[in-house]
Amino acid sequence: MPSYITAAALAIPAGTAIVAACLQLNAERAQRQAAESALAQAVQVASAGMQAQQQLLEAEPQQEASAREQALRQQLEAEHAWLQAVDQAQREAASREQALQQQLDCECSRLEQLLAAATARGLIGREQLHNALVGGDVTTMQLNLALDQTLAASHDSNGDTAFHLAAKQGSVETLQLLRDADSGSAADVLAAGNAVGRTALHVAVHWGRQQAVRWLLQAAPHLAGMRDNKGCSAMDLAGSTAAGAAIVRLLEAASPELAAAASPDGRTPLHLAASLLYA
């Protein structure tokens, strides 16, 4: 079952049955595979035993050979009955697997219909995610991201993504939630610029969100060297905040080469440090 279906299923009350059915289906498949393996081994052992018994029969006197042949026949009958039981169990397992697959397909189809209906009613979408983020509605954020992972990368009229809004608020928890929703493309989304070319790191620095800056640099250190449409890096914006000195240290630790880089107006981090010292 696709991961986004599993996440969506867990986000709604009726979805638990979908995940349970999927887990049961996987268990049935594993049991069936184990039975097939045991059957193959049993056939191999029985074949080897028959060959060995046949060799003994050829070397023994007639009376002993007859008794051993009878015993061997009984043993083979017992093994045949066991193989029949295993085969029956396999057929039953295959039947249960088919029924579970049909149930799972039905539940997934129903979930897709619920998603389409929720989207049509305006319950799911980029605007809803952004509003929930600003309002601190974690449940709505989780539901939107579970049903549509691409919402974390969608831009509003200002070009801001959900990461920009979370950085402005300084919410590390929300940043983590957004990255967890789609970890595969999170690095690219973090590097996305808004209408003026600023990344989430630019926004966090501009608003003096020290914890968000630390999180963003740990998640994507290359953001420290990115510049907006005016050529400003996050370092160039640090002087405008009360937490500027601490943020400058974070940026320099993430990207030491910034220490010698000049802003569009010719100022280096040394100039910035001096301005912060005497501010």
Structural domain contains residue 89: yes
Tell me: do 108 and 180 sit in the same domain.
Answer: no
- The Cα–Cα gap between 105 and 82 comes to 34
- The Cα–Cα gap between 268 and 262 comes to 4
Handedness of CA 263, 267, 273, 277 (dihedral sign): negative
If one counts the domains in the chain, the total is: 2
Task: Give the pair of three-digit tokens for residue 244.
Answer: 């500027």
Helical (H) or strand (E) element with 188: helix 186-190
- pTM score, whole prediction: 0.56
pLDDT tens readout for residues 236-275? 888 666 667 788 888 888 777 665 555 555 565 545 544 5
Structural domain contains residue 186: yes
CATH for 180: 1.25.40.20
Tell me: do 13 and 87 sit in the same domain.
Answer: yes
* Backbone Cα Rg of the chain: 33
At 107 the pLDDT is 80
Q: Which of 198, 206, 146 lies closest to 170 in space, CA to CA?
A: 206
**pLDDT score of 212 more than 70:** yes
pLDDT tens readout for residues 124-142? 788 899 999 999 888 889 8
Structural domain harbouring 246: 158-277
**Residue 157, SS3 per DSSP:** coil
Dihedral (C-alpha) 131, 136, 138, 143: value to the nearest 10 degrees? Answer: -10
Structural domain contains residue 94: yes
**pLDDT score of 278 more than 50:** no
Terminal Cα-to-Cα distance of the chain (whole angstroms): 58
At 277 the pLDDT is 44
> How much is the average pLDDT of 48-69?
68
At 276 the pLDDT is 46
